[in-house]
Amino acid sequence: MTATITPQQPGQQTGRDGFAQVLRAEWTKFRTVRGWVIGTLVAVLVTAGIGLFAAGASSSSCQNASGSNGGPVRTGQGCQTGIPPVGPAGYAVSDSFYFVRQPLAGNGSITVQITSLTGLLPSTTSNGSDTRPGLVPWAKAGIIIKESTQPGSAYAAMMVTADHGVRMQDDYTSDTAGQPGAVSAASPRWLRLTRSGDTITGYDSADGTHWTQVGTVHLTGLPSTVQAGLFAASPAYQAISENFGGGENGIVAPSQDTAVFDHLSRSGAWPGGTWTGDYIGAADGSGIGGYHQAGSRFTVTGSGDIAPAVTGQAGDVGATITEHLVGTFAGLIAVIVVATIFITAEYRRGLIRITLAASPRRGRVLAAKAIVIGSVTFVAGLAAAAAAVIFGARLASARGSYVYPVPWATELRIVVGTGLLIAVAAVLALALGTVLRRSAAAVTIVIVAIVLPYLLGVASVLPVSASGWLLRITPAAAFAIQQAMPQYPQVTALYSPSSGYFPLAPWAGLAVLCAYAALTLGLAVVLLRRRDA
């Protein structure tokens, strides 16, 4: 038997498709130009540096309050009261309300009728000492089963609200609607909570006979003995008006509400005999509240809120890690310049001809360039964001400033997302540089498309609606990936870009930038293939 030797056809002998070689060549190109490497390091330094400067410069309200007494105070009781407790989900929460309670040892239920919800608002005409009747939209009162009286502990509650009907809320962030409409003597609401182990079910009824289940929640790890009873809370009153040309101003002052409960009934294990009324979450006694009992009829007055604590809200005392990433825009500028020049320098010098002669499959050349610049800038963005978040938090706490805690998954999303934001912006700049073949034009357009809308949006120079649209439809939408806190319908706050809220969801915002980058890259590939080099 003779072996057959097939002559090799030139060009067919390569088993591998050679893309790894193109990739390696582009990486060698990038790392051997010192200016590009330095530019990338500059991006890291300005991103982290501006963020750390912001973290170090911010001062807590606690410092300001004691500053007149001879320098800032770093620790002390005065500081502690301003810091919100942390809820089960890892977010900061408001947990201050008036609580009329008894222990519930094991399973059981509580049922009550509410016939009235009224309140007092600060007067808008005087300096705040006068009040007028009225309710804030999310004034709330009802029944609650709570892990303990410790602020931030787990709970589930059924309540009536001023403007949002019956709600079932639990663990600060969850909110489910029950019967709509306002409560009155003519149109009372019946509320019921039943506990079975760590499962709590809420019901509402218009007549105390026909009940509708509003929701069921599991409070994992709920102890056998919990605190249960009546509560009233009323978030601070905020009147905020948008200034002409952007920005806001307004007044913020405490409000209070009073609910009338009747036909209170209980079943199950209630070992205590008497009701205790106290204000939860205000150790300094600043909370407004009290109750009055006449048989099964209770009148409870309270203030405060049981809800997530967010920035842009009345009584906002701190910063979010988003604010430690304000340097991202400056880092982006450096990255955009480097990424654009990565291709336009080749056009300027005619080097593109050598590149394309060495690798005639042009789409692959651009793909390799995109992967190289995307990876390099991703790592740079990741490092900068991690440094800003980690050292920003340390610096802020060393200065006595409060930083809102966020769950670790959110922190990870923000840090990784910032890396992705910078990387995808770099790819967009590379693609536009390929399309235009001119550094100055491409750099300008990408900066105008990403950095400018972001700055206009967060700097409060535009009306909120205008900056909202800018941050939806421009590539700057991607900054949504840095949003640290969700928006809650049940919390009244200034949800504007300037306080760290973006109109699109985090990944949706990043997807907008990705779409721009993908379209531009597609156009760049078509043009690179079609044009003479």
Partner 1 sequence: MEATIEVSGLRKRFGPTLALDGMSFTVEPGQVTGFVGPNGAGKSTTMRVILGLDAADKGSALIGGRPYQSLRHPLSQVGALLDAAALQPSRSARNHLLWLAHSQGLGAKRVDEVIEQAGLSSAVRRKAGGFSLGMRQRLGIAAALLGDPPVLMMDEPFNGMDPEGIVWMRGFLRSLAAQGRAVLVSSHLMSELQDTADHLVVVGRGHVIADTSVAELIATASDGRVTVRTTARSEAMTVLAHAGATVAAADRDTLIISGLAAEKIVTLLGESGVPFSEVSAHRATLEEAYMELTRDAVEFRAATPSGASIEEAAR
- Binding test (CB under 8 A) with partner 1, winner from 221, 285, 295, 350: 350
Question: Does the protein bind partner 1 through residue 8 (CB under 8 A)?
Answer: no
Q: Which is nearer to partner 1, 428 or 528 (CB)?
A: 528
Determine the interface stretch with partner 1 among 59-67, 108-116, 284-292, 357-365 (rule: CB under 8 A).
357-365
Q: Which is nearer to partner 1, 132 or 529 (CB)?
A: 529
- Return the number of other C-beta atoms located less than 10 Å from residue 518's C-beta: 15
Q: Which is nearer to partner 1, 22 or 93 (CB)?
A: 22
Token pair 């991103």 is found at 47
Q: Which is nearer to partner 1, 30 or 190 (CB)?
A: 30
Q: Distance (Å, rounded) from C-alpha 67 to C-alpha 61?
A: 10
Question: Does the protein bind partner 1 through residue 12 (CB under 8 A)?
Answer: yes
| Cβ 10 to partner 1 shortest distance, Å | 7
List the end-to-end C-alpha distance of the chain, in Å, as a whole number: 52
- Binding test (CB under 8 A) with partner 1, winner from 115, 356, 469, 486: 356
Q: How many CA atoms lie within 13 A of 360 on its CB side?
A: 1
- Binding test (CB under 8 A) with partner 1, winner from 14, 77, 127, 209: 14
Token pair 């870009």 is found at 497
Question: Does the protein bind partner 1 through residue 409 (CB under 8 A)?
Answer: no
| Cβ 18 to partner 1 shortest distance, Å | 6
Give the DSSP H or E segment for 159.
strand 155-161
- Binding test (CB under 8 A) with partner 1, winner from 182, 251, 345, 441: 345
Q: Which is nearer to partner 1, 356 or 452 (CB)?
A: 356
Q: Which is nearer to partner 1, 33 or 505 (CB)?
A: 33
What is the DSSP code (8-state) at residue 222? -
Determine the interface stretch with partner 1 among 19-27, 428-436, 440-448, 505-513 (rule: CB under 8 A).
19-27
* φ/ψ (deg, to 5) at 158: -110, 135
Helix, strand, coil percent values for the chain (each to nearest 5): 40, 25, 35
Determine the interface stretch with partner 1 among 26-34, 186-194, 263-271, 372-380 (rule: CB under 8 A).
26-34
| Cβ 492 to partner 1 shortest distance, Å | 56
Question: Does the protein bind partner 1 through residue 26 (CB under 8 A)?
Answer: yes
Q: What DSSP line would sit under 48-116, residue for residue? A: HHHHHHHHHH---HHHHHHHTTTS---SSHHHHHHSPPB-TTSSBEEE-EEEEEEEEESSEEEEEEEEE
Query: x-or-dash pattern for partner 1, window 493-532, by CB under 8 A?
Result: ---------------------------------------x
Q: Distance (Å, rounded) from C-alpha 203 to C-alpha 167?
A: 10
The pair of three-digit structure tokens given for residue 215, joined into one six-digit string: 């929701």
Query: x-or-dash pattern for partner 1, window 29-48, by CB under 8 A?
Result: x--xxxx-------------
Q: Angle 72-74-79 (CA atoms, 0-180°, nearest 5)?
A: 100
Give the DSSP H or E segment for 23.
helix 19-31
Determine the interface stretch with partner 1 among 141-149, 311-319, 356-364, 472-480 (rule: CB under 8 A).
356-364
| Cβ 33 to partner 1 shortest distance, Å | 5
What is the DSSP code (8-state) at residue 482? G
Q: Distance (Å, rounded) from C-alpha 485 to C-alpha 516?
A: 26
Residues near partner 1 (CB under 8 A) are 10-14, 18, 21-22, 24-26, 28-29, 32-35, 345-346, 349-351, 353-361, 532-533
